[in-house]
Amino acid sequence: MTTRPSEVAERTSAAEALERCSELDLFSASPHHLERAYLTPEHRAVNERVAVWMERAGLTTRVDAAGNLVGRREGATPGLPALVLGSHLDTVPDAGSYDGMLGVVMAVAVAERLRGTALPFALEVYGFSDEEGTRFGKALLGSQAASGQWDPDWWDLRDKNGTTLHQAFKEFGLDPARVGEAARQPDELVGYLEAHIEQGPQLEAADRSLGYVTTIAGARRFRLTVTGEARHAGGTPYDRRRDALVGASEVIATIERLARSTWAADDASAEGGADRGVIATVGRIEVSPGAVNVIPGRADLSLDLRAATDEERDAMWDRMEAELTALCDARGLRFEARENHRAFAAPCAPWLQQAVVAGIGTTDDRGADAPMGLWSRAGHDAMAMAAVADIGMLFLRCFDGISHHPGEDVRAIDVARGLDAFEAAVLEVARVRAGDRS
Ligand SMILES: [Zn+2]
């Protein structure tokens, strides 16, 4: 591998990368906040803008059959399998500027930095079209298409105006019948690497710019129902009351207590400590009949459960279900749980974790300390891509762990280190691949 000295001048700096993220804020459904959903005019505009940067970085661009923006440069010989770098260009409503977009901008910058470097694979950059699921309520549509996991049932999904996904495809100029053409095959791919803001406070708490991801958690979600008996609020003495909301309150507190018990007090500082524990969230509760003078007869709750491994998560659920059933029994209440979502954890491939670790090791992030590994509590495009390629992820510190909010912020020094680490990780993959074949 050789780098021409003249390439050095073309390196996109951290400041330029951050400016590009700010520029993408302009492609929004609203002049007052950032919202960029799938198959909208903003989606088209952002693809066109990022394609210009891709071309400037030496990539040949296309929009695939699912609206993903793809850039590619060939390796030492044309037609080699590709190392894919990417993230998403869509946003939640009232989004920050970095969730997804920073990963795409960094991928383009790394392609630009490596323009004069011969690689033993093709290099591709994906700007995924839909990760957040903002418009159709189904996340990862872009990367599910790229990984060959498109489900024909999704065509009937509707946005808030009643437009189906099928209609939206046609209005965007895509042919629904050809969505399968977006699918990549495992033998076309060397691996998938994604840079992303952490969307949590752990790197900041550890005073680190960067971390490598060990695995992406797969959530399980449940609808929990506590059933008692609705009766007159004044006329029913305590020994006759079967109050579903009081039972549900105890259910919520117990869920938190059990999940918290998996987090030892010294975990944040322990080696690999950020890599353990279960996170459980009750985000919604509905009470019926919901009157001030009636004892609640029924409460429906949501539960979202995540852990680094499916085994830890499932063991916690078994424990929760037993305790919650017992506490409701003791109050004369019925406890039922119905699962409505389950995703498998997506472990990062050890060899790509090592490449990211090697990349971080070339920076001055915390001197000689070993890079920090952590599991991703949030879902990412990498989860979908894991179906067709080994995956690895680089996390960047974000301010106060804030994300999915306009207050999302990153420091230029972290982006500078992130760019160096991401570039070095790609070179490490090249070194490993070259070694494999010699
Ligand atoms: Zn994201």
Residue 191 has phi, psi (to 5 degrees) of 170, 175
What spacing in Å lies between the alpha carbon of 131 and ligand 1's midpoint? 7
Longest alpha-carbon distance in the chain: 86
DSSP letter at 39?
Answer: T
**pLDDT value, residue 5:** 45
Q: How far is CA 305 from the centre of its chain?
A: 16
What spacing in Å lies between the alpha carbon of 380 and ligand 1's midpoint? 6
What spacing in Å lies between the alpha carbon of 67 and ligand 1's midpoint? 17
What spacing in Å lies between the alpha carbon of 6 and ligand 1's midpoint? 34
**pLDDT value, residue 369:** 83
Write the single-letter amino acid at 172: F
d(CA 401, CA 378): 12
Q: What angle do CA 146, 150, 151 make, to 5 degrees?
A: 175
Alpha-carbon separation of residue 419 from 17, 194, 353 (angstroms): 9, 12, 16
What spacing in Å lies between the alpha carbon of 269 and ligand 1's midpoint? 26
Peptide bond into 289 cis (omega under 30): yes
Its pTM stands at 0.88
What spacing in Å lies between the alpha carbon of 160 and ligand 1's midpoint? 22
What spacing in Å lies between the alpha carbon of 288 and ligand 1's midpoint? 36
What spacing in Å lies between the alpha carbon of 198 and ligand 1's midpoint? 9
SS (H, E, C) 227-295: ECCCCECCCCCHHHCCCHHHHHHHHHHHHHHHHHCCCCCCCCCCCCHHHCCEEEECCCEEEECCCCCEC
Token code pair at residue 279 = 């996170």
What spacing in Å lies between the alpha carbon of 37 and ligand 1's midpoint? 13
What spacing in Å lies between the alpha carbon of 196 and ligand 1's midpoint? 7
What spacing in Å lies between the alpha carbon of 405 and ligand 1's midpoint? 12
**pLDDT value, residue 2:** 47
Residues of the chain with pLDDT under 70: 1-10, 265-275, 437-438
Contact assessment for residue 217 and residue 313, using Cβ atoms and an 8 Å cutoff: yes
Write the single-letter amino acid at 238: Y
Q: What is the DSSP string of 82-106?
A: EEEEEEE----TT--S-TTHHHHHH
**pLDDT value, residue 438:** 54
